[in-house]
Structure 1
Amino acid sequence: MRAAVERGRKARRGAQVKLSDVAKKVGVSPITISRALRNPEIVSEDLRQTILRTVEEMGYIPNLAARALAGRHNGIIGVITPALHQHGFAGLMIGIEDCLRATEFRVQYSNTLHHADGEAGELKSVLTQKPAGVIIAGAESYRDLLPLIENAACPIAHIIDLSQEPTTLVVGLDHHAAGAEPTRFLLSRGYERIGFIGRGTDIRSRRRKEGYEAALREAGRFDPDLAIGGDEGSSTGLGRELFARLLQRVPDIDAVFAQSDDLALGVLIECAVRGISVPKDVGICGFNDLEFSAFTQPTLTTVQIARYDIGHRVADMLLRAIRDEPPGEGKVDCGFSIIPRGSTR
């Protein structure tokens, strides 16, 4: 008896719903179902809703491998990022998905965790699946990626620091300027011994650090002891730890430019523990304008990046390229804004 029940369960698990089953239930041909799922705009709204409802009721799952063999691609947009685990990537992700949600494409993520030597391998892995397109959302190096990009059978779009190689299907910002301008802002508020706290191992952080150093050199206030970093990912605890170490090294520090709002929050907490007045004795500027930065006490001055807009625009660029439509702008600088709040004079 138990064996018979088990055989029945296995049979049910193996009874995969086919495209022809959905077509028979709706009363149309299998090719109509296939076309409607790939390009929903080609059928009437009533028929589209009937097909989608039947697909859901029957539990039909499209075979992406078969789709890729039968057509140009498998209907997937691959997104390769080094920072899926970081708060700042959420805005980009929502922008990408909002742009693609009403289309026939679905998103598949790959996380390199800032390992440059793994980027080419991740791109190869994605390309072997015959995706409709790929978004490289923050590559560390394009040296090994460029040959793959040049020979790819699908369009590839990029979110980059604008000093990097790609020149088409590009959205990004100048991270050197995004380090220099906040530093000049702190100088304009009367701060003189301005520290830099950040991980500093990826190209965006390195470019911002270079911008910070350039701005201090222009003002005649550069001191290498003012910059400190760590190998760990950005966190509030790391911000406290790095600021405490910086105070030991440079007791007269009077401002900090932190490479994330998480780090800046750690500096703010450490100041509160030590009885250091913010913004009178120490000014603090963060980066990313995460939601909590407007609700700390005092509120955090920060650098705002249009993360949602960047994600939406790069996905729109890629979508146009997949559909062989004019791309509009080939390279977009989304810039940044300094948001002055209570943590600076």
Structure 2
Amino acid sequence: MRKSVEPGRTARRGAHVKLSDVAKKVGVSPITISRALRNPEVVSEELREIILRTVEEMGYIPNLAARALAGRHNGIVGVITPALHQYGFAGLMLGIEDRFRDTEFTVQYSSTLHHAEGEAGLLKSFLTQKPAGVVIAGAESYRDLLPLIGNATCPIAHITDLSQEPETLVVGLDHYAAGAEPTRFLLSRGYQRIGFIGRGADVRSRRRIEGYEAVMREAGRCDPDLIIGGDATSRIGLGRELFSRLLQRVPDVDAVFAQSDELALGVLIECKARGIRVPEDFGICGFNDLEFSSFTEPTLTTVHIPRYDIGYRVADMLLRAISDEPLDEDKVDCGFSIIPRGSTR
């Protein structure tokens, strides 16, 4: 039996408000309301304002499941990432959000927290909801993902290391080169015993370690003791800890290439605490070119990754695929650049 509202109380705002209720209030058909919410430009500005005001007043919430049943998709673009909590992802997210901002699509994020076994499960979860498209931003392995991608009814775009499997709708960079070139840079500045700080938590960081090792091997300076990694809640604190351990292991280390600017900042702080002169006696190179790296003392030499551009371009690529528009390129290398600053000679 339907319960009546008690005297003195009002029904909860938006409770059981249907599309037809909004249409009746405005005095138009439900399909007009639906079209106005999905593609606002199809109705006049005056009617659009009335519809939006009525939707707000009545607290109407569109039923995305019903939209998915009625059309090709539910209007959602899913983004799967291993590191939603890390500073480096913020630039990617901003690029993605800016490209989708004035479209009909809503972006939803989900993070694997670097657990590769969860990637396929998250993709399955998104696909069961009939999304407009999906961005996989940094998959660890495509072994379980490729069958799902092959059977997906929506386009799926990728942010990857360019050595990984996808060949279409791909934006990324060569992380092997992004490990090799900074190492060559440090050698060119006269540093010889160059340590590598940061564990190979994912395929991209492992590729950077491989690039570092190859260059050190070419220079006749490869030493496994120079590579050190670990885990901690604070990446800056971890940088201090790993550098302290590295000094105990290799006292004559004279530079480090860190997997992130946070780790590099930790090394810089520990150098100051120990009275080690940077860059005269010790060189530091970070990775990601986060905002604070140009404000430290001395400023941090780092590897700039065009994170905003990567996010924007993968979102644009996905939008074109959703609309069946031709692509200029199937696979885009956004590259990287070394930013020399005060922490290296």
Q: TM-score, normalised by structure 2?
A: 0.95
Q: Distance in 1 between matches of 2:233 and 2:151?
A: 34
Contact 1:77–1:132, Cα closer than 8 Å, also in 2: yes
Q: Taking structure 1 as reference, are residues 127 and 233 closer, same or farther at Cα in structure 2, changes over 3 Å only?
A: farther
Give the corresponding residue for 1:317.
Answer: 317
Task: Tell me the SS of whatever aligns to 1:172.
Answer: strand
Q: Taking structure 1 as reference, are residues 323 and 9 closer, same or farther at Cα in structure 2, changes over 3 Å only?
A: farther
Write out aligned runs for 1:160-179 (5 A): 160-179=160-179
Give the corresponding residue for 1:274.
Answer: 274
Q: Distance in 1 between matches of 2:313 and 2:74?
A: 22
Give the corresponding residue for 2:152.
Answer: 152
Q: Distance in 2 between matches of 1:188 and 1:305?
A: 21
Task: Tell me the SS of whatever aligns to 2:277.
Answer: coil
Write out aligned runs for 1:206-245 (5 A): 206-232=206-232, 235-245=235-245
Contact 1:139–1:160, Cα closer than 8 Å, also in 2: yes
Q: Distance in 2 between matches of 1:136 and 1:171?
A: 11
Contact 1:199–1:234, Cα closer than 8 Å, also in 2: no
Give the corresponding residue for 1:61.
Answer: 61
Q: Distance in 1 between matches of 2:327 and 2:341?
A: 38
Contact 1:201–1:231, Cα closer than 8 Å, also in 2: no
Q: Distance in 2 between matches of 1:28 and 1:49?
A: 14
Contact 1:234–1:263, Cα closer than 8 Å, also in 2: no
CA deviation after TM superposition for structure 1 residue 150, in Å: 0.2
Amino acid at match of 1:47: L
CA deviation after TM superposition for structure 1 residue 143, in Å: 0.3
Q: Distance in 2 between matches of 1:8 and 1:152?
A: 52
Write out aligned runs for 1:18-29 (5 A): 18-29=18-29
Contact 1:93–1:308, Cα closer than 8 Å, also in 2: yes
Write out aligned runs for 1:1-345 (5 A): 11-12=11-12, 15-232=15-232, 235-345=235-345
Q: Distance in 1 between matches of 2:174 and 2:119?
A: 22
Equivalent residue pairs, number: 343
CA deviation after TM superposition for structure 1 residue 180, in Å: 0.3
Amino acid at match of 1:22: V
Task: Tell me the SS of whatever aligns to 1:12.
Answer: coil
Q: Taking structure 1 as reference, are residues 128 and 8 closer, same or farther at Cα in structure 2, changes over 3 Å only?
A: farther
CA deviation after TM superposition for structure 1 residue 234, in Å: 6.6
% identical aligned pairs = 84
Contact 2:226–2:246, Cα closer than 8 Å, also in 1: yes
Contact 1:199–1:233, Cα closer than 8 Å, also in 2: no
Task: Tell me the SS of whatever aligns to 1:88.
Answer: helix
RMSD of aligned Cα (Å): 1.8
Contact 1:64–1:75, Cα closer than 8 Å, also in 2: yes
User: For each residue in 1:20-45, what CA deviation from the matched residue of structure 2 results, as whole angstroms up to 9, or x when unmatched?
Assistant: 22223333211111112222232333
User: For each residue in 1:240-297, what CA deviation from the matched residue of structure 2 results, as whole angstroms up to 9, or x when unmatched?
Assistant: 0000000000000000000000000000000000000000111000001111101000
Amino acid at match of 2:279: P
Task: Tell me the SS of whatever aligns to 1:157.
Answer: strand
Q: Taking structure 1 as reference, are residues 74 and 255 closer, same or farther at Cα in structure 2, changes over 3 Å only?
A: same
Task: Tell me the SS of whatever aligns to 2:314.
Answer: helix
Q: Taking structure 1 as reference, are residues 110 and 187 closer, same or farther at Cα in structure 2, changes over 3 Å only?
A: same
- Listed as ranges, the gaps of 5+ residues in structure 2 are none
Q: Distance in 2 between matches of 1:249 and 1:336?
A: 31
CA deviation after TM superposition for structure 1 residue 9, in Å: 5.7
Task: Tell me the SS of whatever aligns to 1:80.
Answer: strand
CA deviation after TM superposition for structure 1 residue 46, in Å: 3.5
Q: Distance in 1 between matches of 2:117 and 2:10?
A: 43
Q: Distance in 1 between matches of 2:40 and 2:327?
A: 22
CA deviation after TM superposition for structure 1 residue 51, in Å: 2.5
- Listed as ranges, the gaps of 5+ residues in structure 1 are none
Contact 1:234–1:260, Cα closer than 8 Å, also in 2: no
CA deviation after TM superposition for structure 1 residue 307, in Å: 0.4
User: For each residue in 1:91-138, what CA deviation from the matched residue of structure 2 results, as whole angstroms up to 9, or x when unmatched?
Assistant: 001110110010110011110011111111111111111111000000
Bigger mean CA deviation after superposition, 69-78 or 32-41:
32-41
User: For each residue in 1:194-237, what CA deviation from the matched residue of structure 2 results, as whole angstroms up to 9, or x when unmatched?
Assistant: 00001212001000000011111111111111100114467000
Q: Taking structure 1 as reference, are residues 7 and 215 closer, same or farther at Cα in structure 2, changes over 3 Å only?
A: farther
Q: Distance in 1 between matches of 2:233 and 2:314?
A: 26
Amino acid at match of 2:202: D
